[in-house]
Structure 1
Amino acid sequence: MEEDNSTRYPALNEITDNPFHLLENYSNDSSMLTLASGFLSDEQFYIIHLIIIYTSQLINICAIIANSLSVAVFVKLGFSEPSNISLTALAICDFTLAMLLTWSNLCFWLTYHNVPLPFHGANVSFLTGGDHWAFLSSTVAWITAFISFERCLCILFPLKVRRLITPRGTFVAMLIIILLTFCPSFFMYIRYKFVWEFNPYQNVTILNTIPVNSEFVILFEKIYLVIYGVIQPLLAFLIVLICTVLLVVQLRKISFWRLSVTSAKRQRVQPEEYPAGSSSASGARISPKEESLVRKVVAIAIIFIVSYTPICIMIICYVALDEYNAFGVYRRLFVVSAYITSLGQPISGSVNILIYYKMASKFRSVFRRLVRLDRQEQERHELK
């Protein structure tokens, strides 16, 4: 006899407006319903979902460890350099992202295995984890945009910008970005509220969330999601992309300038391509320290672009397709793609520490002392 999925997945199917609900369809379009039925069965949905969750948890652990070490190193380095402040803010946000994803994954895993919880795993974790993760992703995007834009200005207008980019100014900029991008995530508590409901499967009262369906709140949510869920992340991504292209072009000019100087046998002549006093010439003659920092920022930005592109594609699909959301015909595809795209940023956060270690000698030195690599190498050398 064929197994009834409603008994196999009772914890997820108990509330019909649950984004993980599998048995009901909310579309009135029969043609779309027929098309969507062949996408993912219940079995395929959960197998893919669980594989992604296990993979995500492993990546999240790596991101938590990596960003914890990055913050510890930057604290030891101090914050006299503005770049250390912005990179520390980036590491803290990446750490928090990984923690939120870990919480959401854990709640879903426990719900899937029918572990009794004092709250509704999927709904509560969405409001306390997934929602904040989405907004914090935008915060990471804007911090990366700020870092890239600041490096562009430092190369194009070095004499003017260095007076403006100070540790205090960078700290204030980080606070403003967090206030404008992450703090609005708490507005979702206007749209949803916590309630105590009786759960017949556990025979206990558990904490759950329900939507507030007043016309004003629904209109507020639509405007709110367009601004903070669509416009804001896409604009940040565009700024990072443009600034990264400008930085790469400038690095190529720097390499050409160095090659011209070498071919001129170290004579003190101004390459013809860069007239004296031009911004290109001043940019080409940046110090090796500045050039190393630019290369580090370019590497961070490229990794961010690669990891954030799937999120931007998902946002565009969410806007373009009416049924591509947590409650539409394509909700299974939406949930799976959301989990897959969420893997990008923990990976990015885990890889950043390798960039710092490879491209920053001070970071590498403090990191090695922090994890006692230098002492271990010295002890091995003494034993030999």
Structure 2
Amino acid sequence: MNAIALANTGYVQRFGKSTTQTTSVTMERAIEENSSIRPILSAEVHLALTAFLSYAYLFVGTLGVVTNVLIILTYSKLGFSETINISYFFLAISDLCSSVIRSWGAMCYVFVVMKTSLPFDPSSVSVTTGFYPSQGFEKTTAFITAFIALERCLCVQFPLHVKTIVTKRKTVVSIVVIFLFGFLPSNLIHIVYPLKWVFSPSKNRTILAMVPLETPLQHIIQRALLAYYSTVLNFSALIAVWICTIFLAVGLKRKAGIRKENLVNPSNGTSDKQKERRVIKTVFLLAITYLACSLPLSATMLVPQFEPEFVPTRGLARISLVCVMFSLLMTQLNSSTNLFIFLHMGSKFRRTCFALFIK
């Protein structure tokens, strides 16, 4: 699992062991080497929980791959005459990439649990190919969600000028910039944690493993990436979505008042207003789902500020790892539920999606 792999990196730094020595053992064995670990969770319970969460990742990740492929195909059929369709399309691409990488990270930990003989070390390989890339795409998803909510807020606040404020070109450029700031920095991890072919004494053969650079640059980049993704992007996206969601809630209330007025004085634009309300409600559900799935991770990130032992390399390592894995599972669940929201709220999307299965 990616959280386990990240913790393995922490143990390499804490105990001062080489990669070929430490990453060839399981996370639980590394925990046992630390005498300061508090036995709140037994080793058996800890391994059972992490194994269960890893298989849950595989299920949720597979669901995310299937659902986001369907969203991409459906919006490709619907076209991109509206800017909101472009945003939904790129949101699905980001969620698809996150689901694929998270599933790979979970599979790596399953390999560790099963003790499968492979030509690479799963627990260390998943750090650079699983944990950091998935963080990049998850934060990209967060900011695209915030952008979609902001776009709808502008539609509510400036209905007569939104067509000039939010254009197709501006939408594409904005989302590309989000991808650049969300995903590209995660690739810096390949500089300080490159994958190399090394000899493993325990396996008596050469395997592909993560070999960290023993330089001050390694610690600087790693801490910068963790701070960037865990604090800066995580909480800024959360705050942005919260603010836009509040404005959307106000907008929904305002639209409800307009609806009552239209029942007394019907006009030719009633169908357009109903369509706009459905779009706002869809974006509102997307934002609420993101907030609900992101709160556990944000809370887990804040706990070490009050309890320093609540980290994967200190006394509450087992509890910390299980909480991190559950929180990451919730963020992955966010990438797997959008299809059901679109099917529930959009009749046109529903017809087009079902038509994919009908010749």
TM-score by length of 1: 0.81
SS in 1 for 2:311: coil
SS in 2 for 1:201: coil
Residue-by-residue CA offset, 1:314-339 (whole Å, 9 max, x unaligned):
22224554433332332322221222
1:45 is matched with 46
Deviation at 1:285, TM superposition (A): 11
Instruction: Give the greater-gyration-radius structure (CA).
Output: 1
CA distance in 2, matches of 1:148, 1:231: 20
Check conservation: 1:16, 1:24, Cα contact below 8 A. no
1:351-366 matched pairs, under 5 angstroms:
351-366=337-352
Q: Cα 1:314–1:17, aligned 2, differ >3 Å: closer, same or farther?
A: farther
Q: Cα 1:219–1:117, aligned 2, differ >3 Å: closer, same or farther?
A: same
1:212 is matched with 213
Check conservation: 2:149, 2:284, Cα contact below 8 A. yes
CA distance in 1, matches of 2:322, 2:49: 7
| Counterpart selection for 1:305 from 288, 291, 304 | 291
Deviation at 1:359, TM superposition (A): 1.3
2:32 is matched with 23
SS in 1 for 2:209: strand
Deviation at 1:75, TM superposition (A): 0.7
SS in 2 for 1:211: coil
CA distance in 2, matches of 1:331, 1:159: 55
Deviation at 1:188, TM superposition (A): 1.2
Check conservation: 1:148, 1:298, Cα contact below 8 A. yes
1:103 is matched with 104
CA distance in 1, matches of 2:212, 2:124: 11
CA distance in 2, matches of 1:135, 1:366: 31
Check conservation: 1:22, 1:42, Cα contact below 8 A. no
SS in 2 for 1:343: helix
The aligned amino acid for 1:186 is N
Task: Work out the percentage of aligned pairs sharing the same amino acid.
Answer: 28
1:271 is matched with none
Q: Cα 1:175–1:19, aligned 2, differ >3 Å: closer, same or farther?
A: farther
* 5+ long unaligned stretches in structure 1: 1-11, 27-32, 269-283, 376-384
1:369 is matched with 355
1:139 is matched with 140
Q: Which runs of 4+ in 1 moved over 4 A?
A: 16-19, 318-321
SS in 2 for 1:23: helix
1:186 is matched with 187
The aligned amino acid for 1:298 is F
The aligned amino acid for 1:296 is T
2:252 is matched with 251
CA distance in 1, matches of 2:134, 2:285: 24
The aligned amino acid for 2:228 is I
Shifted more, 345-354 versus 148-157: the winner is: 345-354
| Counterpart selection for 1:337 from 323, 328, 334 | 323
**2:302 is equivalent to residue 293 of structure 1:** no
CA distance in 2, matches of 1:335, 1:317: 13
The aligned amino acid for 2:265 is R
SS in 2 for 1:195: strand
The aligned amino acid for 1:111 is V
* 5+ long unaligned stretches in structure 2: 1-18
CA distance in 1, matches of 2:288, 2:336: 14
Check conservation: 1:17, 1:327, Cα contact below 8 A. no
CA RMSD of aligned residues (A): 2.5
Q: Tell me the number of residue pairs that the alignment of Structure 1 and Structure 2 aligns.
A: 337
TM-score by length of 2: 0.87
Deviation at 1:249, TM superposition (A): 1.6
CA distance in 2, matches of 1:220, 1:199: 27
Q: Cα 1:365–1:309, aligned 2, differ >3 Å: closer, same or farther?
A: same
1:123 is matched with 124
Deviation at 1:181, TM superposition (A): 1.0
CA distance in 2, matches of 1:195, 1:325: 28
Q: Cα 1:17–1:23, aligned 2, differ >3 Å: closer, same or farther?
A: farther
The aligned amino acid for 2:223 is K
Deviation at 1:76, TM superposition (A): 0.8
CA distance in 2, matches of 1:200, 1:217: 25
2:16 is matched with none
The aligned amino acid for 1:163 is T
**2:64 is equivalent to residue 57 of structure 1:** no
